[in-house]
Chain A
Amino acid sequence: MKKSDLLNILQEIAGNERVSASSAELYCYSCDASQVRGMPDFVVRPVSTEQVSKIVRLANKEEIPVTTRGAGTGMAGGAVPLEGGIVLDMSSMNRILEMDIGNLQVTIEPGIIQEKLNEALEPYGFFFPPDPGSSAMCTLGGLIANNGSGMRSVKYGTTKNYVLGLEVVMADGTVVNTGSKVTKSVAGYSLNDLFVGSEGTLGVITKATLKVRALPKERSVLLASFDDPEQAGQAVVKVLSSGLIPSACEILDRNIIEAINTYDPNIGLPKAGAILMFEVDGTENSVREGIEMIRDICSPLATSIRAASDKKERYEIWAARRLVGAAVSRLDPLYTRVYLGEDIGVPIKELPGMLHKIREISEEFDLPIMTYGHIGDGNLHTGMCIDVLDEKQWDKLSKVADKIHRTAIGIGGTVTAEHGVGSSRAEYLELELGNALDVMILIKKALDPKGTLNPGKMGV
């Protein structure tokens, strides 16, 4: 079918104002926050499951790729249309369909922003715990499709722990519902788990029923400074082995501390080789007890320990922490943060060793690596900044990222703990998953035989 005919049909389905093939729009939808690029032929902003179904069915019939996109904040190219075709921008499907607090759940459309959902839940005294740094802009659909998590996953787990049910448009346009409103069900395969984290390769999520949790009565933050990240890693292992589960446990290395202080000088983090940011939530007593336990455990290793003075300081610390991934770009006017090799996860007891290896890799390639992340669940973000106009630095960066990935896999870790595989990490899945990748490929072929859903991603 000719492009002009396809454009007409898409406009008939979604309306003229919701379809674009303009040069500016196509260029803007050719990337996300990663380095991956792919130019779409059309961008559609659907408003209903029916529209999504019709578009996906059309694409399947015409064998045109369909790439689903939330807010385009991904760091692995998951929402980039590598092989052209249609980008489905789901951000207009952003309604809360049912606030079912009595059943501790909420049903939403995928385009709602994480922070907006939590703003709506707050008056009820509830929240949706997965809390990525991009919570002010990322959509729930993107979080589900990438099984995102963030700073509170050490206690509250990842998005998959909150998905009760999904409405999914399959590759042929059929609409299916997975899961149910009950919190426990073993009726059939766990299809929720199949679609969560599938990055739009198996279907398009058009609705989700999510568990929500009661907001804790109290939260408190403790900052512990260390001479180096390895010692911080040892402290984390000790804290988590004590039986205490903090609601957040973040590491910031020397450069990240400087970046936060540059972004917001009011925060004034102490100078140190590394800082651990612990948050404990719960009742007043349990929080006090938890903070004291962490203080006792960290004391022998830490150079200093201080608690956030009040709610305002706590809020400011977390707000700055959320943006630090990008804020490292401020450290040098010529350098820009590049997301590559930035999302490894390792078993908890391997943390000190991995932190040490990161330092060795940094020295070997003479490229500063800034380390931060959700160390409480073994998830380290390794941040690198380069002059993106310098080809040699790109080459060095790619080598460093590759070595970080292979080192993590070598000690039983993963190349991506929460940002997703997309296309930038697809090449490592065979090494990490072995013949489990063959099962993934079989599933992909069974559900999307023509391969129209987000082709070129996840190694399938």
Chain B
Amino acid sequence: MSESDMRSILKCIRCGTCRSICPVFDVVGWESASSRGRMLVAHGISQGMEVDQSVFDSINTCTTCGLCEQMCPSGAAPVKVVENVRRQLALQGKMSDTQKELRFEALDKGNPLGEAKDRMAWLGDSKEDVTKQADYVFFAGCMASYRYPELTKRTFDILKKYGVTVLEEEVCCGSPLLRTGSDPSELVSKNMRQIKKTGAHTIITGCAGCFTTLKNDYPGDVKVVHVVEFLADHLDEMDLKKLDMKVTYHDPCHLGRCNGVFDAPRQIIRSICELEEMKSNREKSKCCGAGGGVLKGYPELSREISKNRVEEIPKDVDYLVTACPLCRTNLKRGDPRVDVLDIIDLLEMAME
């Protein structure tokens, strides 16, 4: 274990603040599923504790939402510790079946979903608008490309007039591997080579997971913005009509808390309709339950976390809006009756 990880573990004084906020502990109820518990387990591993299923479950059920780091009074960093422990265990070959599957699919097929189809099929007739060089690259991401192809095309159609292109052979950004302890460098290199070829100075993405990975884990000095940031800067040019409705907004953890993008999505929403905040929002927003490999590895736990999140939706809103396809998917799993929109859907409603 690195000294900085050990120092972070030792910063934890087990005050229990994280017990009151960890969305996973809220569902599971066992101490090992709280951030404090994970710090203890990480310490145990460093002291030679055998890595059995209970240890895997403790370390692997963290959604990496970062609320504990945000609220920790003593300044511990449980998410960094969890990700590093996952990485160290993976290096020793200690991985759960889910971790192995994520890695295999991402490296073999270029996406962790195991999809063998043409990734860029979402482009449809917009294929002809793709240029070899551009100032901006739209990085669609795996979830958007395969699960929300129409939305992805519509997003690109809005963006393309600003000189935006896409990568010819985009592959997974590497986020699922990074979060679950595997080495994403093969994927990172493949994407980076293509980004450089386009000559773009900025990457635009609509996925919170891709956003934080491209922004914080990719080499070089290419600027990375989320599509909400980009569009918030171009609102004046969009001729949006006001809609007589009220929505609420779910802050994706890796967009909001981890990277501080809170105002741009709210600016877009307020330019279209009324916004009523969820019970917890902005820095203290609760996780949808999908991140950190939890949706893949612990689908029922992930659904229960999402149920708790959708219970925070104000009673009288028309839609729940978010800005991440993974959050969108899981919020819908939390309660299929909830009308969940991507912020692009909302934007289009105001453009019609």
Contacts and interface: CB of A to CB of B under 8 A. Distances in A.
A336 B12 CA distance: 8
Contacts of A136: 17, 20
A251 B269 CA distance: 45
Contacts of A388: 10
A337 B31 contact: no
B259 interface: no
Interface string B203-221: 0000000000000000000
A255 interface: no
B13 A337 contact: yes
A72 interface: yes
Interface residues of A, number: 42
Contacts of A324: 73
For this complex, into which size category does the number of interface residues on chain B fall? 20 to 34
Interface in B116-135: none
Interface in B34-62: 36-37, 40-41, 44, 49-50, 52-55, 57-58
Contacts of B17: 136-137, 323, 326
Contacts of B6: 389
A27 B30 contact: no
A345 interface: no
Contacts of A113: 20
Contacts of A334: 7
B199 interface: no
Interface string B325-352: 0000000000000000000000000000
Interface stretch (A16-24, A192-200, A354-362): A16-24
A27 B74 contact: no
Given A91-B29, A323-B17, 6 more contacts: A25-B54, A29-B31, A325-B15, A329-B74, A330-B75, A339-B13
A167 interface: no
Main secondary structure of the interface of B (DSSP, over half): helix
**Interface core residue of A27, A91, A325, A334 (most chain B CB under 10 Å):** A27
Interface in A323-354: 323-327, 329-330, 333-334, 336-339
Contacts of A89: 31
A323 B18 CA distance: 12
A72 B16 contact: yes
B73 A33 contact: no
Contact of B41 (A24, A73, A138, A330): A24
Given A28-B31, A136-B20, A23 B55 contact: yes
Contacts, number: 112
Interface in B3-27: 6-7, 10-11, 13-17, 19-20
The 4 closest A-B CB pairs, nearest first, are A22-B54, A329-B74, A326-B73, A24-B54
A137 B16 contact: yes
Nearest to B39: A28
Contacts of B63: none
Contact of B14 (A22, A33, A92, A263): A33
Interface of B: 6-7, 10-11, 13-17, 19-20, 29-32, 36-37, 40-41, 44, 49-50, 52-55, 57-58, 72-75
Given A27-B41, A137-B20, A326-B74, A73 B15 contact: yes
27 contacts: A20-B54, A22-B32, A22-B53, A23-B52, A23-B55, A24-B44, A25-B54, A28-B32, A33-B13, A33-B15, A33-B16, A72-B31, A73-B14, A73-B15, A113-B20, A134-B16, A137-B19, A138-B16, A325-B15, A325-B73, A326-B13, A326-B17, A326-B72, A329-B73, A336-B10, A337-B13, A389-B10
Nearest to B51: A23
B41 A28 contact: yes
B9 to A, nearest CB: 10
Given A326-B74, A329-B11, A23 B49 contact: yes
Interface in A4-45: 20, 22-25, 27-33, 43, 45
Contacts of B49: 23, 27
A71 interface: yes
Contacts of A71: 16, 19
B14 A72 contact: yes
A31 B31 CA distance: 11
**Interface core residue of A43, A89, A336 (most chain B CB under 10 Å):** A336
A327 B72 CA distance: 8
A43 B54 CA distance: 14
Contacts of B55: 23-24
A31 B37 CA distance: 10
Contacts of A338: 13
A327 B74 contact: yes
A138 B15 CA distance: 10
B44 A25 contact: no
A312 B312 CA distance: 23
B75 A22 contact: no
A71 B18 CA distance: 11
B15 A134 contact: yes
A30 B40 CA distance: 10
Interface string A70-93: 011100000000000000010110
B280 to A, nearest CB: 13
Contact of A24 (B11, B19, B36, B58): B58
